[in-house]
Structure 1
């Protein structure tokens, strides 16, 4: 009887990676260093190219390919990007023969169609069953189901372990679990629920290759799971009422750490940092990056509740390796060590 490896899921077969771990395409943070390191380690790296120029996207794609020939994706946000810029971003990806596009936020069928016509597979991150069904109907190849405990922008209202099985039951394409996943045990839990893998952000923000500023990384590894807040205090640059999960800081505390229905126009454009001459506003969706200076600890410190499990800054390859080793150890503990043969 042929033995099968439970960690070689249908997602691995679809995109060509070794392990069913997707590194989230975090805007600003996920640049070529991180995406290339994750993909080279056998997982699925992703460039976070939200509202970036076509030239920057081409440069980042080429930098990844100079360092690895393994599969990766490019994350774009059609609902939060001016239409002309989005068209230029996607055109750059297609021109560079990108095979995988990762979308997020509101489902935009025309964006799925454009990517598919360009020869790309589409992964769509959603926060509800309804959006998952709509994305599949529009031609998406993979659904990423994000729970409310996830870091960064959060589009749903229930936990990942509640959302995940409902999405799996509602669609026929592979579903990836997002929100609260950072180790091998949680990977096994997701697979046990029927997921084809996990989508991880917070643990990779704190990686050595992440373009996040050291201030952001250190806050993540110091924080407990109780120190994140779900708020729309960081609204500049995104559609109205777009909540995020961040680590609490002076900015969130002055607004009582709650949802108010804010929008871009609700806040003063108060510049508290700068990036190569560009002002960075207190209430913007910019997180602290290596290239920024100023009051960085008051910007959006994106992090999920899983931050309590992230206790050190590690190379991305080590993160992937330890997740897989931990997953195999947990399978062995559960008595499933004889159902696969490692190559």
Structure 2
């Protein structure tokens, strides 16, 4: 069986008109045109991470994706983390450009869903609870991304994916996408078994060649082991205080080891620790290190999910997709073999 085999044609691939049920998370900063285009070109579904970007930048990035591929893609925005005037301009830029899909996260904004739908875009909504999933579906979302607490970056809920995914999949009628802790084919196979129509991966693509993340951040992910991430609210500058994230452990998370939650970085002494193309970056900022960043990178928000323990090498986006697919096929084949009667299974193994 090859990586383009029929089992991976799902309600999600039919909805998004892509070949493989693998979405690259719209990570603000790292998920620019180069990464989104590479994922879509390889048969997955790329998302541009455009949170708090100007309309002009969004227009430019959309054009860059289209210059690189004719495959469908989407744009990720965070209504709850963006000032209303800027959000309005961002949405206008996306809908004027006729992007195929919009992905939203954090609080559910029914009016934003309605506006995107009226503009002709499909709507994917990432949630961390059943209640938010039901609200997003009622408001018209075409697919729900169920984010488990294992996920990297901003983490909406507090429930593990193994429980959250089947809970949501059993209650909504639209396709459900699994997010959090998935970076290999076994994860894709497990997600499908739990009711998902595909997977939404951030960490696996964060370390790719096409990601705009800094080389230091990418290497920290590759070097990470199980247990190296921290769930905390210490990184919140640019977001409301108390917004949890999952990052790789560093000197900043060590400072709050005894109280990872209940922090208010807005009340702590300000200190500039780095700079990038947008300007100075204060300590506790939600900005992660990018290719253009200089300074004390170790102190920055090094976003990573628990799946960082499964990322062992620097790959291209296409290699990540093909690896996940081939591993998933192998996983399903092994499971099928285990269902055969013992004598037949032994004969099958003897001929391998």
- Normalising by the residue count of structure 2, what TM-score does the alignment of the two structures yield? 0.92
- After the TM superposition, which residues 115-194 of structure 1 pair with which residues of structure 2 at under 5 Å, given as runs? 115-194=116-195
**What's the CA shift string for 1:33-90, capped at 9, x where partnerless?**
1000000000001100000000000000000000101111100000000000000001
Change in Cα spacing, 1:230 to 1:335, as seen in structure 2 (3 Å) is: same
CA distance in 2, matches of 1:115, 1:236: 28
Please give the secondary structure, in 2, of the residue aligned with 1:308: helix
Q: Superposition pairs for residues 164-313 of structure 1, below 5 Å?
A: 164-256=165-257, 258-263=259-264, 265-276=266-277, 278-313=279-314
**Divergent runs of 4+, >6 A:** none
Q: Match of 2:343? A: none
Contact 2:113 2:140 in 1 (8 A): yes
Question: CA separation of 1:257/1:271 partners in 2, compared to 1, >3 Å: closer, same or farther?
Answer: farther
Please give the per-residue CA displacement for 1:292-338, whole angstroms capped at 9, x wherever unaligned. 100011100000111111011100100001111111122222228xx
SS in 1 for 2:6: coil
CA contact (8 A) 1:271 1:281 kept: yes
Query: Does 1:31 pair with 2:32?
Result: yes
Do 1:102 and 1:124's aligned partners in 2 also have CA atoms closer than 8 Å?
yes
Structure 1 partner of 2:46: 45
Number of corresponding residues: 333
Q: Does residue 1:73 correspond to 2:74, yes or no?
A: yes
8 Å Cα contact 1:229/1:257 also seen in 2: no
Distance in 2 (CA, whole Å) between partners of 1:71 and 1:330 is 28
Q: SS of the residue aligned with 1:6? A: helix
CA RMSD after TM alignment? 1.2
8 Å contact 1:288–1:300 — kept in the other structure? yes
Structure 1 residue matching 2:168: 3-state secondary structure: helix
Aligned to 1:111: 112
Cα distance change, pair 31–257 in 1 and its aligned pair in 2 (3 A):
farther
Helix, strand or coil: the match of 2:28? coil
Work out whether residues 233 and 261 of structure 2, in 8 Å CA contact, stay in contact via their aligned partners in 1: yes
| 1:266, distance to aligned residue in structure 2 (A) | 2.5
Bigger Rg over Cα: 2
Q: 1:257 and 1:233, CA in 2 relative to 1: closer, same or farther beyond 3 A? A: farther
Contact conserved, 1:267 with 1:283, CA < 8 A, in 2? no
Q: In structure 2, what is the Cα distance between the partners aligned to 1:12 and 1:260? A: 38
SS of residue paired to 2:280: strand
Could you tell me whether the CA contact under 8 Å between 2:253 and 2:260 is conserved in 1? no
Q: Distance in 1 between matches of 2:110 and 2:155?
A: 20
The answer on whether the counterparts of 2:234 and 2:265 sit within 8 Å (CA) in structure 1 is no
Structure 2 counterpart of 1:339: none
Name the counterpart of 2:345.
none
Distance across 2 between alignment mates of 1:110 and 1:269: 36
Write out per-residue CA displacement over residues 4-51 of structure 1, whole angstroms, 9 at most, x where no aligned residue: 922100000001000000100000010001000000000001100000
Gaps (5+ residues) in structure 2? 338-352
Tell me how far apart the structure 2 counterparts of residues 275 and 185 of structure 1 sit (CA, whole Å).
Answer: 37
